[in-house]
Amino acid sequence: MSALKNSQIRKSCLLDIKTQEIIEIDEVLSVGRQPGNDLTLNDSKLSRNHARIIRQDGDLFIMDLCSKNGTLVNETPVQQGNSTQLNDGDIIHLGHRTYKVLGDSGSIGSFDQNAEIPECHEIEIEQTKPKKRKTSSKNLENMPTSSISKFHSSTEDETQYAPAKFINRLIANIIDATITGKISTLLYPIIVINFKKFLSLTHGDAGLAASSIIFIITGVYYILPLMKSGQTLGKKILKIKLIHNDGNQMNMVQIILREYIFKLITVSFTLFTLPQYLSNKDKRALHDLLATTRVISTKDLD
């Protein structure tokens, strides 16, 4: 190892806190377990394509590529599919690794010029044709216009957003329907009997009340897991995940619209929507198109 003087550090770098290795960031630095990333790490907590750091006009931005275990900047999670601007001295957690951002000034000047540290790696960025994807503008409000253009053209690759297979989506729906059906069958008579006994309701009124309660309970079964992780139990078993087109998790309103209104439209026009789904390259059903969502396979994200 040779000493690296301050004057030699011209570009933004990442300092591995544990190994003291310095990794130079040129234009784009992709990180993950999968060979082919600019920074390939054998780390069980990293996804195959975990994150991407973009350097543009002197600014750094990090994007989490819908990784399984997430990316932290100064202990704050980077929202999946969105970017966070990096500043000199920021601490990034990627799997078991911790890195410090070294800019063109600031923290670099605090290093001992006589200390022996590894030289920066020259990262050669392979020019590929990436898949374009929308990014939430609210997370990019501080990014220059030229950076946004660059960012949109350098996001996920095709494997990152591989669409879920039809059979997997079907089996996941059957699993979820079976579970909610069992819940309904178990709770309905119990609720009816107790409402008739303690509230003196007629059988019809008790049945209506029981149906309403079960509707809410089964709604919670779908809505809360989809808001938290994009996966009901059925989707988790089949390793598929629901996301918004911009890569974000869904909020409650979006999920309710998709699950209870747009799906009803899809089912009502099955003869027309099934051919549309089968011919769609991204395998997005009508309710996905209406809700601007997609169901992806998580096998390549683990």
User: What average pLDDT is seen over the chain?
Assistant: 77
Residues 268 and 287: their CA atoms lie apart, in Å, by: 11
Lowest mean pLDDT among 175-179, 233-237, 239-243: 239-243
The C-alpha angle 142, 143, 146, rounded to 5 degrees, equals: 150
Report CA 249 to chain centroid distance, whole Å.
7
The residue-averaged pLDDT of 159-183 equals 88
How many residues are there in the chain? 302
- CA-nearest of 105, 63, 76 to 88 is 105
Alpha helices by DSSP H, 27-165: 145-152
The model's pTM is 0.51
Give pLDDT tens digits for 92-108: 999 888 999 987 533 33
Return d(Cα 156, Cα 243) in angstroms, integer: 14
Distance of alpha carbon 223 from alpha carbon 19, whole angstroms: 43
Query: Who wins on pLDDT, 135 or 40?
Result: 40
User: Which residues have CB under 8 Å from 38's CB, separation 6+?
Assistant: 28, 29, 30, 31, 123, 124, 125
What's the token pair of residue 215?
A: 């509707």
Q: In degrees rounded to 5, what are phi and psi of residue 71?
A: -130, 135
Give per-residue pLDDT as tens, 256-291. Answer: 999 999 988 888 887 777 787 777 777 888 899 999
How many angstroms separate the CA atoms of 173 and 170, rounded? 5
Q: What is the mean pLDDT of residues 160-184?
A: 90
